Chains A and B, each alone.
Chain A
Amino acid sequence: KAGVTQTPRYLIKTRGQQVTLSCSPISGHRSVSWYQQTPGQGLQFLFEYFSETQRNKGNFPGRFSGRQFSNSRSEMNVSTLELGDSALYLCATSQETSTDTQYFGPGTRLTVL
């Protein structure tokens, strides 16, 4: 089985721009969770999607949004980028719920200049 894939792997943007990240889950996995990881804050939960619906949301501003498609692939969008948005963005997928074992993708390293 192919693992979780994320694209792009690296991204450099400037303040004020917007960015879209993509996550393709393991075949059969329907839950996709997004995390932000920074050296200062550790791994923080952004949101979880299941069956094209956002099921749970972390404590991030509205500039962070996402969606899930019928094939369970998910995208995450960040608008009006700020320097503090520089981070590793990880998606993790599981079969039914975020409470099952999650398998992480390689992440997208976003640098905001």
Chain B
Amino acid sequence: EDKVVQSPLSLVVHEGDTVTLNCSYEVTNFRSLLWYKQEKKAPTFLFMLTSSGIEKKSGRLSSILDKKELFSILNITATQTGDSAVYLCAVTPNTNAGKSTFGDGTTLTVKP
């Protein structure tokens, strides 16, 4: 059975700090790993990673995938209070009938 483990489960930092969120996975026939941000509503898409070693970047957020060691990290630099959210990691297998498996999420709280 496919499995996604995120760590830490929760994190409290102050504005301006840099955080690193981890996602490790086990999946049969890996296709992609996705990161989502969820505030008090539905998840919003952040990144999709399919290749090892290629960093995806969007503003202060960046993510990279290591397909050999089966993990991904999500970095947030110069954190702001608006970054407070649950960050979800999901993996999808390489089959048309595949389903995404989600981790439990990391709850990030950024204090002013």
Contacts and interface: CB of A to CB of B under 8 A. Distances in A.
User: What DSSP secondary structure best describes chain A's contact surface?
Assistant: strand
Given A42-B104, A45-B101, 7 more contacts: A33-B100, A98-B92, A99-B94, A99-B95, A99-B98, A99-B100, A104-B44
Contacts of B80: none
A102 interface: yes
Contacts of A98: 92, 98-100
A111 B95 CA distance: 35
Nearest to A46: B99
Q: Interface residues of B toward A: which range?
A: 20 to 34
A1 to B, nearest CB: 14
Interface in A85-100: 90, 96-99
Contacts of B96: 55, 96-97, 99
Contact of A101 (B42, B48, B94, B102): B48
Nearest to B31: A99
Contacts, number: 60
B41 interface: yes
Contacts of B34: 101-102
Given A99-B32, A99-B92, A99-B95, A45 B100 contact: yes
Interface in A18-75: 33, 35, 42-45, 48, 55-56, 58
A55 B95 CA distance: 11
Of B42, B45, B88, B103, chain A has the most CB atoms within 10 Å of the CB of: B42
Nearest to A43: B102
A101 B56 CA distance: 15
Those 8 A-B pairs whose CB atoms lie nearest each other, nearest first: A104-B42, A99-B92, A43-B102, A42-B104, A56-B99, A107-B42, A104-B43, A45-B99
Interface in B16-60: 31-32, 34, 36, 41-45, 48
21 contacts: A33-B100, A35-B102, A42-B103, A43-B88, A48-B97, A55-B96, A56-B99, A90-B42, A97-B97, A97-B98, A98-B92, A98-B100, A99-B92, A99-B93, A99-B96, A99-B98, A101-B45, A101-B48, A102-B34, A102-B100, A104-B42
